[in-house]
Chains A and B, each alone.
Chain A
Amino acid sequence: MKRNTFWSWFWLAVGVLYFILPLIATFLFSLRAKKGVLSFLAYEHVINDPSFWESFLFSLVVAVFTILVSLLLVVPTAYWIRLRLPQLRTMIEFVTMLPFVIPAIVLVFGIIRVYSGAPFHLTSTFIGTDSLLVAAYAVLALPYMFRAVDSGLGAIDIRSLTEAAQSLGANWFTILFRVIFPNLRVAILSGAFLTLATVIGEFTIASFLVGIHAFGPYMSLIGQNKTYEASSLTIISFGLTWAFMGLLQFITRGRAESLAGAH
């Protein structure tokens, strides 16, 4: 069917221009590390900086834990609501919208206030603080994860699957982990990648809980003190995130965005 795609291309061009120009400007600036010469010196500095790798890996590990924790929380819950407790749906949906109502900076202060003192004393140890970080990120990721998983569950017939598994003698554990989870692969991946992108670059919560151990505050620190490395770091982190997202696209063959928070 013949459709005039002029306006579509127009708006796309506007959008692409808006996206690309700041990146180009940053990239050009990052090449100026050596005076008068265009070079990748700034990139070398970043890649040779052990703190870059430490903080990036730290945030990566935190992201992985966050994804695991939120999956373990969200999938059984979303599943149970559909199957057994539909009356709880409104309340659970309300809870998953709460992280929008509470901005990150508010959340981190609440968490610090509650868990740094008695009886938890969680901020006295690294493990404690890191766990708080994972918990905080799980809260932030909650709306996206829930929506992705919920849409995914809606697309498969969980009732038949459950009954079939039950009739074959499976217990709930088996049903969840060997039947439901694998069927939600696409939804889980999409939620997981959004979470990954969010956690890696996150600044507010990380800066108050773990400081420059995490990637976001590390980027901010470099931004304060090192001009050219800051811009090359921007490009590198953008590129890395893009690579991960591209990986997701490849794995899910293009159905990813349909689950990234679909209504």
Chain B
Amino acid sequence: MSSKPDSKPVENKRDAPQARSALSVWRDWLGVAPFILFAILFILLPSLSLLFGSFQDSKGNFTFQNFMDLFTPDIMGAYWVTIRISLVTALGGGLLGFMMAYGVTVGGLPRWVRSGLSTFSGVASNFAGVPLAFAFIFTLGRVGMVTLLLKSLGVDLYDKGFSLYSFWGLSFTYMYFQFPLMVLTITPALDGLRREWREAAENLGATNTEYWLKVALPILTPSILGTMILLFGNAFGAYATALSLTGGFINLITILIGSQIKGDVLHNPGLGYALAMGMVIVMAVMMTIYYFLRRRSERWLKQ
């Protein structure tokens, strides 16, 4: 994905020296201008507006109160729960996705399995919100298909303490769109694991485990990390699914924001914006960690 600016000096020799003038430079920037404009209008401006809004109270006066309010146990708890569920589903979905992607690439499953899997993953990774919540209620709810099936076999899930309407139930539901995303993004990376490397390793006497630990995983690490962060962000920002499944009984930040701004009962948009800023900060921290880890793993690759 990185490109090297190779032939630029050659071009310089071909063009007349004056041709590389300010006009050309201007034209180059013009090429990316629409994109920059779009980014400013629809990413930067809304974010700034929210930033300003988070410092205002309902009368429009400047205040730090919204940010102070963030440090209540309820809200801190909400951040923690949201982070936890994102971590759990990123790791869990990542693991299952990885195993499946492994199966269809290195693992030697037939071609048709792979195309079927990638089509399905494309669809499933966007299957979220109301339909997904309902589907899981119909499957694992108190009178869900699987619950009743297991009950007829003598296993009563809910008696044993399981509940779809819990942290783990919601995580399990989230993974439905997490692991297809993992499959989609990691498959090309696994494709890049050339067979020659494995054969070379085996030639040198490496066992399966050693191959994975010393060759394959280090190569895959940047991609794996990147996808995990993707999964984390995906879960962190999820709103419709959680709302439809547990409808606010689980303390997620996205739901809190929604309630504040929908204004059915609560109406403190300033707090909503502050919560949103908090989310952005958490994500920014995660992205920083990701870039840091990625630099380190890419250093391995360069060796």
Residue B248 interfacial (CB < 8 Å): no
Cross-chain contact of A257 among B118, B123, B129, B139 (Cβ < 8 A) = B118
* Contact call A103/B254, Cβ cutoff below 8 A: yes
Q: How far is the CA of A28 from the CA of B134 in the complex (A)?
A: 13
* Contact call B130/A105, Cβ cutoff below 8 A: no
* Contact call A234/B135, Cβ cutoff below 8 A: yes
Residue B128 interfacial (CB < 8 Å): yes
Q: How far is the CA of A92 from the CA of B38 in the complex (A)?
A: 12
Q: How far is the CA of A233 from the CA of B29 in the complex (A)?
A: 47
Main secondary structure of the interface of B (DSSP, over half): helix
Residue B55 interfacial (CB < 8 Å): no
* Contact call A262/B185, Cβ cutoff below 8 A: yes
Are A258 and B188 also in contact (CB < 8 A) when A150-B1, A197-B123 are?
Answer: yes
Q: Which residues of A contact B125 (CB under 8 A)?
A: 197
1/0 contact string of A230-263 vs chain B (CB within 8 Å) = 1101100110011001101100001011111111
Q: Which residues of B contact A37 (CB under 8 A)?
A: none
Residue B279 interfacial (CB < 8 Å): yes
Q: How far is the CA of A101 from the CA of B273 in the complex (A)?
A: 15
Q: How many residues on chain B are close to A (CB under 8 Å)? A: 96
* Contact call B237/A105, Cβ cutoff below 8 A: yes
The residue in chain B whose Cβ has the minimal distance to the Cβ of A233 is B131
* Contact call A249/B283, Cβ cutoff below 8 A: no
Q: Which residues of A contact B104 (CB under 8 A)?
A: 8, 12
Tell me how far the C-beta of B112 lies from the nearest C-beta in chain A, rounded to whole angstroms. 10
Interface positions of B from 1 to 29, Cβ below 8 Å from A? 1-7, 27-29
Cross-chain contact of A26 among B7, B100, B134 (Cβ < 8 A) = B134
Interface positions of A from 48 to 74, Cβ below 8 Å from B? 72-74
* Contact call B123/A21, Cβ cutoff below 8 A: no
Q: Which residues of A contact B279 (CB under 8 A)?
A: 103, 106
Tell me how far the C-beta of B89 lies from the nearest C-beta in chain A, rounded to whole angstroms. 13
Interface positions of B from 105 to 129, Cβ below 8 Å from A? 107-109, 111, 113-115, 117-129
Q: Which residues of A contact B3 (CB under 8 A)?
A: 81-82, 86, 89, 154
Residue B81 interfacial (CB < 8 Å): no
Q: How far is the CA of A47 from the CA of B233 in the complex (A)?
A: 35
Residue B206 interfacial (CB < 8 Å): no
Are A80 and B239 also in contact (CB < 8 A) when A11-B102, A245-B123 are?
Answer: no
Q: Which residues of A contact B175 (CB under 8 A)?
A: 18
Q: Which residues of A contact B185 (CB under 8 A)?
A: 260-263
Residue B155 interfacial (CB < 8 Å): no
Q: How far is the CA of A234 from the CA of B299 in the complex (A)?
A: 46
Are A254 and B115 also in contact (CB < 8 A) when A5-B107, A73-B38 are?
Answer: yes
Q: How far is the CA of A89 from the CA of B4 in the complex (A)?
A: 11
Interface positions of A from 1 to 32, Cβ below 8 Å from B? 3, 5, 7-9, 11-12, 14-15, 18-19, 21-26, 28-29
The residue in chain B whose Cβ has the minimal distance to the Cβ of A223 is B130
Main secondary structure of the interface of A (DSSP, over half): helix
Q: How many residues on chain A are close to B (CB under 8 Å)? A: 93
* Contact call B118/A8, Cβ cutoff below 8 A: no
> Which stretch from B45-53, B58-66, B72-80, B210-218 is at the chain A interface?
B45-53
* Contact call B35/A77, Cβ cutoff below 8 A: yes
* Contact call B126/A220, Cβ cutoff below 8 A: no
* Contact call A74/B1, Cβ cutoff below 8 A: no
Cross-chain contact of A246 among B96, B107, B119, B188 (Cβ < 8 A) = B119
* Contact call B145/A21, Cβ cutoff below 8 A: yes
Residue A219 interfacial (CB < 8 Å): yes
* Contact call A114/B261, Cβ cutoff below 8 A: no
* Contact call B102/A262, Cβ cutoff below 8 A: no
Q: Which residues of B contact A24 (CB under 8 A)?
A: 139, 145
* Contact call B128/A201, Cβ cutoff below 8 A: yes
Residue B42 interfacial (CB < 8 Å): yes
Q: How far is the CA of A95 from the CA of B42 in the complex (A)?
A: 11
Residue A107 interfacial (CB < 8 Å): yes
Q: Which residues of A contact B189 (CB under 8 A)?
A: 262-263
* Contact call A11/B126, Cβ cutoff below 8 A: no
* Contact call A12/B131, Cβ cutoff below 8 A: no
* Contact call B42/A76, Cβ cutoff below 8 A: no
Interface positions of A from 135 to 176, Cβ below 8 Å from B? 135-136, 138-139, 150-151, 154, 159, 172
The residue in chain B whose Cβ has the minimal distance to the Cβ of A111 is B46
Residue A100 interfacial (CB < 8 Å): yes
* Contact call A21/B43, Cβ cutoff below 8 A: no
- Which residues of A are at the interface with B, using a C-beta cutoff of 8 A? 3, 5, 7-9, 11-12, 14-15, 18-19, 21-26, 28-29, 72-74, 76-77, 79-82, 84-86, 88-89, 92, 95, 97-107, 109-111, 113-114, 135-136, 138-139, 150-151, 154, 159, 172, 193-194, 197-198, 200-201, 203-204, 216, 219-220, 223, 230-231, 233-234, 237-238, 241-242, 245-246, 248-249, 254, 256-263
- Given A84-B28, A97-B287, 10 more A-B residue pairs with CB atoms under 8 Å apart are A24-B145, A82-B3, A89-B3, A105-B239, A106-B237, A201-B131, A219-B131, A220-B240, A238-B127, A257-B121
Instruction: Name 22 A/B residue pairs within 8 A (Cβ), A-sorted.
Output: A3-B107, A8-B107, A25-B139, A79-B31, A85-B29, A101-B233, A103-B279, A154-B3, A172-B27, A172-B31, A216-B129, A219-B129, A230-B134, A237-B131, A242-B120, A245-B123, A248-B122, A249-B119, A254-B115, A257-B188, A260-B184, A262-B189
